[in-house]
Structure 1
Amino acid sequence: MRIPMYIVDAFTDQPFAGNPAAVCLLPQPARDEWMQRVAAEMNLSETAFVVPHEGGYRLRWFTPKAEVDLCGHATLASAHVLWERGQRRRGEAIAFFTNSGVLTAINNDGWIRLDFPSEAPMLDESPPAVLTDALAAKPLFIGRNRFDYLVEVDSEQTVYELQPDFRLLQQVDARGVIVTSCSSAGEADFVSRAFFPAIGVPEDPVTGSAHCCLGPYWADRLGKTTLVGHQVSSRGGIVRVTVAGKRVHLEGKAVTVLKGELTDEAGIFL
């Protein structure tokens, strides 16, 4: 058996920009150990494993080191692949059954819209010293949600120039750290970078799940529910965000850059 495998650049309309995700299309559930080995082999921030399930798809995400409970760019990439292969009509919504509930993807006039949970940050009045030491930047706000810390700094330039101490960041008791500032350019409302060294991703190029936190935070700060985020990693990417109560809609584009097949191994399926 040959297993289809894709690499897709998400949150961009240009190859070799945005955030690359591997998408593995499985006929049935596979063993966790095998999926983790594949993710380590791909060595991308996430590898998505997609399995048909109850009119939609079961979707799981693995970094090179661990499984995660929510990932935006690999979900966007998975929807892109399913439409590109003709496994779903482009006008048809796709339901993904995940560890964070049912997530849906629809094609919105050339943009892929994801319906995700809102993960608004709560103010942390006693943040760990290792966090501020690792960033070496004066925070205007520090909060966290169930996944990550969110740190607002004084300017867009500070976000661009940040050089975190990844050894110290690994000691922070969270999935990762998001650093953000209001944008000084007219094209975006806010900028951000996101760091996840504890799960094998020192800096993530464009992080959909981080915008589940950034969206509600900046919606409250700026008094608007529709925003544009620019993640200013070296690859960079744009995420359109709409805050809708307990849900956040994330929109981005995607480009396939590689198609291939994995060779089946004995005993990989449950």
Structure 2
Amino acid sequence: SDEPCASHTFLDNWIDYYYLTGDLRTLEVIREAGQFFLRYRWTEDPRFSFSLRSIGNVLRGLLYVYQVTGEEVYRKRADEVFEVIARGQCEDGSWLKRFQVSTSDRRPAQLPYGMATEGTTLAVELGAPPFTDEEHRSLSGTDTPIYREVPFGELKGYQTHYLLIGIELLHRMTGRADVAEVYRRAVDWFMEAHHTRHHYGGILCRHLAYAWRLTGARAYLDTGIDVLRQLMAMQDTSDDPRRRGAILMSPMYVSLAYFGVPFFRRALREADMDEPTAP
């Protein structure tokens, strides 16, 4: 992106590549990103908001760098970031896409509008006027609806997947009961019929599998099987080599399926449960 922000600073593949190759330049890049994550700051002034995916990437990024370097400064900062994340969790286990920890309803004074980038959101929070209709159309085209305020029902959901990966990693490292409880409550929010809208390419299967490991409750695996059936129904099975295997014709969905489904299949095997068959 053209903005130096954490929301799109992903280290996952850098970490994988370093483990596979031991390349020292890759390690330098990881360390540089770690220094960027260490500089992440926040305020409890209700005029401003947290970006859920930004703080989610900061948490997992700090933990990844700690894994690679063993330097405690990253773990310590990750613990501090997690404490803020836990405070921002709503009573139902969810988080808002843009939240504030200092308000009772976890909502900032500036209502979320559209799917604005981090920089434009901060600009409005600092007092700049929101985009005009003409500016919206020049950026997004004339066919894209203009949302001045995101409906409350759409403030929760997909960006939580960015966050849960880091919370899972923190629990794997520490075994902390409070971390496990924050994680379980979040997955339970998805369990309340929300998985039909928020499976997000199958990455939810990863979280369902880990929640099963934490609790032993088969309901998580049953829900994951339902999600797998949805993905199978979305997958192209034609003979067209340009399309076959695609999920909703989206490379992103295929990537997310790889991030979530293999973990879930292993959990099914360990639980002696059958995988769903293709429709």
Q: Does TM, scored on the shorter chain, surpass 0.5?
A: no
| Larger relative contact order (CA 8 Å, sep ≥ 6) | 1
TM-score (norm 1): 0.29
Which of 1 and 2 has greater Rg?
2
The structure in which a higher percent of residues are helix is 2
Between Structure 1 and Structure 2, the one with more strand by share is 1
TM-score by length of 2: 0.28
